[in-house]
Amino acid sequence: MLDHGAAPPATEPPPLKAQGLATRLMRRKPVEQLVSEGGQGEGGTLRRSLSMWQLTMISIGATLGTGIFVVLGEATPLAGPAVAISFVIAGLTALFSALSYAELAGSIPVSGSSYSYSYATMGELVAWICGWCLVLEYGVSVAAVAVGWGEYLDELLAGTIGVTIPEAVAAPLGEGGFINLPALVVVLLAMVFLMGGAKESARVNTIMVVVKIVTLLLFIGIGFLGIKAGNYAPLAPLGVTGISAAAATLFFSYIGFDAASTAGEEARNPKRDLPRAIMLSLLIVTVLYCLVALVAVGAMPWENFEGTEAALAQIMKDVTGQSFWGVVLAAGAVVAIASVVFAVLYGQTRILFAMSRDGLVPKVFARVNPRTGAPRANTVIVSLFCGVLAAFVPLGELANATSIGTLFAFALVNVAVVILRHKRPEMNRTFRVMLFPLTPILGFGFCAYMMWSLPPATWMVFGGWMAAGLVFYFVYGLRRSRLASAEK
């Protein structure tokens, strides 16, 4: 006899409760549940092995690199010598959001970063939108960074063995080639290292971060000798509009300071160390960016930056009159940009890990290898996706698309701080945003302004990306959400 009261087969998602759609979309995941599930995956758990120093290096590794080595060549023609001001504006935007990130990371120390913060404060639909933006921020920025890596690799090969990479395999479609093979290679190399586990990956990342900081300090020292005062005039040839446009592009340079928050379930003392790592990394990166930008535009006329993605190496050669220093800079840049690929790829896998654990994306992304404590399948899938983007999509489009996704996610983090302070004032917070609520309001406002400054084409790409994400959520995530299953 057919039992009409039997539960549906295990392979099918459970039916949703008979409640309004709006209620289901707004369901929030309790903070305590988020924290208690920390590290738990399919078949294994993430290991808590990262110190505050390693967390800081992850954030610096994810941030310091492409913005100054590559995107500087795109932003300087927009702002002229005032590009240093554009860096400051982009840095201030990042700072306000970093303060909000620091408070939430100390309160909700989990791998999902702003996705998890949104889930706890604004509900499942907003969390999904935020998570989808983070895929754009982390996953696509890996591809954008990898594209620039090939430029410096070519410079290094030319300066050492006199060989250049054929254009057909060194540039994507639309930029004179068929495939950016070096970009694909660096993503796959990062994948191999990440599959070894968080602790081993952190060691590799720290070495690479030290190398690139030393490289930039070397550039500042040598480039300073070539500064010509006349190169700073006129300061803003394209006016305030140019400065704003450059700042919106350069915000891409600050993407990654929040990477430490994605390591919340692998940190030894996340409540104490995550806020410190986020703020310290942003401080170090901002100071280095502004110093390098000031030296660069002082040593080379701003008009000469047009179309030059390896500008710093060129400046080193021009100032010294020797190709040796350009080769040294190119070698440092190769390591620096590789470390960004490495650290950002790490962040993306951990965000998808958290989303998978919540049932919003397939559970393969939460599968943990019991021997290494790393989500290996997740790492392979994400790396292949990013590698294909890096091989076939031009850098400029990738950078702008990444910026708008990041700004949207950052705006949500500022809102989440306000909501959590209102709803859970008694919660233990190891870091508190100063001048509350003014600071998160300013953070939200800066993000909105930066988004408004991006070109219409970027908004069209963003709109298409969000539409695809919403389709996926309503077809897949809404019914398979583990929070929905628990509410049966």
* DSSP secondary structure string for all residues of 51-117: -HHHHHHHHHHHHTTHIIIIIHHHHHHHHGGGHHHHHHHHHHHHHHHHHHHHHHHHHS--TTTHHHH
Q: Is 483 left (phi over 0), alpha (psi -120 to 50) or beta?
A: alpha
- 174 burial via Cβ count (<10 Å: 0-12, 13-18, 19+): exposed
Q: Which two three-digit tokens encode residue 267?
A: 């940190």
By C-alpha distance, which of 95, 74, 92 is closest to 83? 74
Give 428's DSSP letter: -
CB of 310 within 8 A of CB of 155?
yes
By C-alpha distance, which of 343, 340, 431, 426 is closest to 147? 340
Count of all residues that appear for the chain in the document: 488
Q: Which two three-digit tokens encode residue 352?
A: 């998808």
Q: Over the stretch 114-158, which tens digit does the pLDDT of each residue have?
A: 898 999 899 999 999 999 988 877 777 777 778 777 777 887 888
Q: Which two three-digit tokens encode residue 194?
A: 């990440």
Query: Which residues of the chain are modeled with pLDDT < 70?
Result: 1-19, 66-67, 70, 252, 307-310, 394-401, 485-488
Q: Which residue has the tokens 């930039």?
A: 216
Q: Which two three-digit tokens encode residue 341?
A: 């690929």
Taking residue 156's Cβ as centre, other Cβ atoms within 10 Å add up to 21
Distance CA 358, CA 429 (A): 24
Give the pLDDT confidence score for residue 7 in this predicted structure.
42
- 201 burial via Cβ count (<10 Å: 0-12, 13-18, 19+): buried
Distance CA 71, CA 310 (A): 9
Give the pLDDT confidence score for residue 44 in this predicted structure.
74
Give 255's DSSP letter: T
* DSSP secondary structure string for all residues of 136-191: IIIIIHHHHHHHHHHHHHHHHHHHHTS----GGGEE-TTTT-SEEHHHHHHHHHHH
Distance CA 171, CA 163 (A): 16
Give the pLDDT confidence score for residue 432 in this predicted structure.
92
* DSSP secondary structure string for all residues of 18-69: SS-HHHHHT----HHHHHHTTTB-BSSB----B-HHHHHHHHHHHHTTHIII
Give 373's DSSP letter: -
Q: Which two three-digit tokens encode residue 273?
A: 């160390």
Distance CA 347, CA 59 (A): 10
Chain centroid, CA 136 distance in Å: 9
By C-alpha distance, which of 111, 131, 134 is closest to 45? 111
Distance CA 382, CA 191 (A): 9
Q: Which residues, in sequence order, are bridge partners of residue 179?
A: 171
Output the pTM of the full model. 0.82
Q: Over the stretch 334-365, which tens digit does the pLDDT of each residue have?
A: 888 888 888 888 888 989 999 999 999 999 99
